[in-house]
Amino acid sequence: MRRIAVLTSGGDAPGMNAAIRAVVRTALEGEAEVFGVRRGYRGLIAGDFLPLGARDVGGIIQRGGTMLGSARCPEFRTPEGRTQALEALSRQGIEGLVVIGGNGSQTGAQALAATGFPVVGVASTIDNDLYGSDITIGVDTALNIALEAIDRLKVTASSHHRAFVVEVMGRDCGYPALMAGIAGGAEAITIPEVDCDPEAVADEIRRAYERGKPHALVVAAEGARYNAERLANYFKEQQARLGFELRVTILGHVQRGGAPSFADRMLATRLGAAAAQRLLDGQRGVLIGLIDNAIAVTPLDVVVASKKPLDTALLNLARVLAK
Ligand code: ADP
């Protein structure tokens, strides 16, 4: 394989740049040319390619986001869209593709791989909900950002004797909220995977008050049945019984934008390098992830058909430790 392309797709994640850099420089070592694709599958359909040499990926390892841009591209869900992408790849003489992204992006990668075109995926999403990798690119940085925000909110909440709900990202997946809740010392955590009784949340806040805590923290996933807004609405008329005044902070996209942590740079570097190497070695239709701290290669059809389990028993650990 003499010419490959690399794209980033879906939600951006800190570390994507480090992965692009590793793909490019590993492929160059294998004497292949590399093209970057701008704006994910949209750029693939449009044939928006950019030659990438070793110097073009210099100075990006420490930057969040993705130098190639990302996009959502509904056209790629259609066979016509994918045919256009294959034509663009063929016009450019590109023989293989690395797709850096999360669940949706790897579903697109699988659809392209199913046509016979060589595709290798790299596990990257701040939600950590992708089967085939214990941990995905961006998770560590996004969680560190959430924890920094939580730590700061605790300081001000203590001064004012408040309870606060912090909402973290995760539309369908509670991993970020569960982890931020445990590492942030939350009294209660709400996630999409487990039905939550707002009365139990009220009890935890009340107990924190009665134990003499200066504040109480609830971490809510945006996709939980009781996310921040719905919890605030539920308690609107009845704050007095919580003991504390309740305030809400929604972290939203600030969680994405940070400079990648050491853990994310290392993970992205290892996964990106392995993806380029495996593609050049002739593997195709697989996702590169990390399982038990070793590079793991999982067929994309298995990845997209499987759901990564969340250890919801950790909710109980959070409850025990919130004494
Ligand atoms: P993420 O990769 O972060 O989960 P999305 O779910 O938005 O992000 O998916 C990113 C892109 O992947 C979509 O805009 C679309 O172009 C492509 N994609 C998602 N699902 C499919 C699918 N079933 N078939 C083909 N392409 C898909």
Q: What is the rounded distance in angstroms from the CA atom of residue 136 to the CA atom of residue 15? A: 10
Domain contains 318 = no
Domains of the chain: total: 2
Identify which of 112, 44, 90 has the alpha carbon closest to the alpha carbon of residue 300: 112
| Widest distance between CA atoms in the chain | 69
Considering the domain architecture, whether residues 240 and 222 belong to the same structural domain is answered as yes
CB-count exposure of residue 206 (10 Å: 0-12, 13-18, 19+): middle
Q: What is the rounded distance in angstroms from the CA atom of residue 113 to the CA atom of residue 218? A: 43
Considering the domain architecture, whether residues 66 and 81 belong to the same structural domain is answered as yes
Considering the domain architecture, whether residues 38 and 8 belong to the same structural domain is answered as yes
Domain contains 312 = no
Give the residue, 215 or 24, on which the prediction is more confident: 24
Q: Which CATH number fits the domain that encloses residue 189?
A: 3.40.50.460
Q: What is the rounded distance in angstroms from the CA atom of residue 94 to the CA atom of residue 144? A: 38
Q: Answer whether 45 contacts ligand 1 (Cβ < 6 A).
A: no
Q: Answer whether 121 contacts ligand 1 (Cβ < 6 A).
A: no
Kindly give the distance from the C-alpha atom of residue 42 to the centroid of ligand 1, in angstroms, as a whole number: 11
Query: For 92-140, how does the pLDDT look when each residue is reduced to its tens digit (9 = 90+)?
Result: 999 999 999 999 999 999 999 999 999 999 999 999 999 999 999 999 9
Kindly give the distance from the C-alpha atom of residue 108 to the centroid of ligand 1, in angstroms, as a whole number: 6
Best residue for ligand 1 mutational test, from 44, 70, 76 (most atoms within 8 Å of Cβ): 76
CB count in 10 Å sphere of residue 72: 14
Query: For 237-265, how does the pLDDT look when each residue is reduced to its tens digit (9 = 90+)?
Result: 777 778 888 889 999 888 888 899 999 99
- What token pair was written down for 71? 């996009």
pLDDT of residue 210: 87
Q: Answer whether 138 contacts ligand 1 (Cβ < 6 A).
A: no
Alpha helices (H) in 121-226, listed in sequence order: 139-160, 175-184, 198-210
Q: How would residue 36 be classed by pLDDT, with cut points 50, 70 and 90?
A: very high
Domain that holds residue 206: 142-257
Kindly give the distance from the C-alpha atom of residue 103 to the centroid of ligand 1, in angstroms, as a whole number: 7
Identify which of 304, 306, 307, 300 has the alpha carbon closest to the alpha carbon of residue 279: 300
Considering the domain architecture, whether residues 174 and 152 belong to the same structural domain is answered as yes
pTM for the structure as a whole = 0.95
Q: What is the rounded distance in angstroms from the CA atom of residue 61 to the CA atom of residue 150? A: 27
Considering the domain architecture, whether residues 193 and 297 belong to the same structural domain is answered as no
Kindly give the distance from the C-alpha atom of residue 76 to the centroid of ligand 1, in angstroms, as a whole number: 8
Half-sphere exposure of 300 (CA within 13 A, CB side): 31
Last residue of a domain, one of 239, 257, 275: 257
Average pLDDT over residues 195-213: 88
| Atom 9 (ligand 1) nearest CA | 104
- What token pair was written down for 109? 């990668």
Kindly give the distance from the C-alpha atom of residue 104 to the centroid of ligand 1, in angstroms, as a whole number: 3
Check pLDDT > 90 for residue 304: yes
* Residue 151 annotated in active site: no
Domain contains 320 = no
Q: Which CATH number fits the domain that encloses residue 61?
A: 3.40.50.450
**HEC profile for 225-291?**
CCCHHHHHHHHHHHHHHHCCEEEEEECHHHHCCCCCCHHHHHHHHHHHHHHHHHHHCCCCCEEEEEE
pLDDT of residue 110: 98
For the CA of 127, the nearest atom of ligand 1: 3
Give the residue, 51 or 163, on which the prediction is more confident: 51
Considering the domain architecture, whether residues 250 and 185 belong to the same structural domain is answered as yes
How far does CA 154 lie from the centroid of its chain?
25
What mean pLDDT value characterizes the chain?
A: 94
Considering the domain architecture, whether residues 65 and 117 belong to the same structural domain is answered as yes
Q: Answer whether 144 contacts ligand 1 (Cβ < 6 A).
A: no
| Atom 26 (ligand 1) nearest CA | 108
Considering the domain architecture, whether residues 8 and 111 belong to the same structural domain is answered as yes
Q: Which residues contact 272 (CB under 8 A, 6 or more apart)?
A: 18, 19, 20, 21, 22, 23, 26, 98, 100, 122
Identify which of 67, 106, 123 has the alpha carbon closest to the alpha carbon of residue 272: 123
Distance, first Cα to last Cα, the chain: 58
φ and ψ of 316, to 5 deg: -70, -40
Q: Answer whether 175 contacts ligand 1 (Cβ < 6 A).
A: no
Considering the domain architecture, whether residues 130 and 8 belong to the same structural domain is answered as yes
| Atom 7 (ligand 1) nearest CA | 10
Q: Answer whether 75 contacts ligand 1 (Cβ < 6 A).
A: no
DSSP structural state of residue 187: S
Q: Answer whether 101 contacts ligand 1 (Cβ < 6 A).
A: yes
Q: What is the rounded distance in angstroms from the CA atom of residue 85 to the CA atom of residue 206? A: 57
